[in-house]
Amino acid sequence: MNGYINLDKEHSDFLSIFDNIGVKKLSLKKLESQNEVDIVLTSLSKYGETKKNLSDIETSSKPLPTLIIANNKEFDQAIDLISNDRIEVVSNQSRVSEVNARINSLLGDSSAEKLEFKDLVINLKTYEAIIDGVLLDLTFMEYELLKFFIENQENVWSREELLEKVWGYDYFGGARTVDVHVRRLRSKLGEKRLDWIKTVHSVGYKFN
């Protein structure tokens, strides 16, 4: 697929992700028609610039499908964008599987919008988690932690690794933050699912 890419330097790691899932980078100077662009990939801070750069070819009646990368602390700014069905927003900590799922969702593959584990369904489009038909009241970081666990079942993760993978390098909180979020997740998942998140003593946590 052909993509117009405009990223912050801090999101440059995503270039290899896009390459791995088959996105061919387009040159703005050579673009003549909207039909040449399958997907737009941009950082939240570059979103305005990206829209301006594509203004000569993008039509208002059919805006280009756009994947936006946002740092966790920026996510509140992206809430209005998430409601647009031509836009998907991912965290800067997102893995290849989620980026691929959201691109597929934008391009029309609705089956890529969900992660499932037993009676739990996570909707990647709406940022919702539903268990046994009931919507869970999760904070953004609780949602991100639960999603990370589902994507990395059977692995044992230390608190420090979880802070790095879920909260990101720019988070300065201590390891106790992980314990607090795990305790809240267990409570919200319900008593009969307490064993989903296992404590591995002297190491960290495992999900299965």
Determine how many CB atoms are found less than 10 A away from the CB of residue 11.
Answer: 21
Q: What is the mean pLDDT of residues 179-201?
A: 94
140 and 78 in a common domain = no
In the structure encoding, which two tokens stand for residue 135, read together?
């919507």
31 and 80 in a common domain = yes
118 and 103 in a common domain = no
101 and 152 in a common domain = no
Q: Supply the CATH number for residue 169's domain.
A: 1.10.10.10
* Positive/negative CA dihedral, 66, 71, 77, 82: positive
| 104-163 confidence digits (pLDDT tens) | 888 876 556 788 899 999 988 778 899 988 999 999 889 999 999 998 888 999 999 998
90 and 152 in a common domain = no
Record the pTM.
0.62
Mean pLDDT of the chain: 88
| 58-89 confidence digits (pLDDT tens) | 987 788 999 999 987 787 777 777 778 889 98
| Selection from 72, 42, 68, 46 nearest residue 169 by Cα | 72
**pLDDT value at position 80?**
76
What is the domain extent for residue 14? 2-108
148 and 102 in a common domain = no
Helices (H), 83-151: 96-106, 140-151
The model's confidence at residue 172, banded by pLDDT at 50, 70 and 90, is: low
156 and 88 in a common domain = no
**HSE-CB of 184 using CA atoms within 13 angstroms:** 16
Please enumerate in sequence order all residues whose Cβ is within 8 A of that of 155, keeping only pairs 6 or more positions apart, or say none. 206
197-200 and 204-207 as β-strands: parallel, antiparallel, unpaired? antiparallel
Boundary (domain end) residue, out of 75, 108, 141: 108
**pLDDT value at position 200?**
94
98 and 123 in a common domain = no
